[in-house]
Amino acid sequence: MLILAYARNLQIRAACETFRRSHDYGYKLSLNSCNSLLSGLVKENETGEMEYVYKEMIKRRVMPNLITFNIYINGLCKAGKLNKAEDVIEDIKAWGFSPNVVTYNT
């Protein structure tokens, strides 16, 4: 809940710190709070941190959904990392999702 509150109030640094420390205390993260954090990082153009959060989500077994992938692709495209964005589209298919209009418009 704390990550979600920080992210929604655009206190991205605090949200990232909470995200990092949550693992130390054994807290399970919700997909909703992770998606909000990713979205905030995209808005702040924090590509490196966004990539870390995405990879850490996968590592901590927070199952992404299509919204997660769309946010991540959006951030990669804004950063000019089109090849990585294309790889994520392949990841979408590997996770059993189908890219949608939002994915392709991004």
pLDDT at 28: 87
Q: Considering the entire predicted model, what is its pTM?
A: 0.90
Identify the CA nearest to 40 among candidates 82, 73, 76, 6: 6
Domains located in the chain, CATH noted? 2-105 (1.25.40.10)
CA distance 43 to 58: 21
**Residue 45, token pair as written in the block:** 């153009």
pLDDT at 10: 87
Residue 100 Rama label (left phi>0; alpha psi -120 to 50; beta):
beta
CA distance 44 to 104: 22
Per-residue pLDDT tens digits for 8-51: 888 999 999 999 999 888 888 999 999 999 999 999 999 999 99
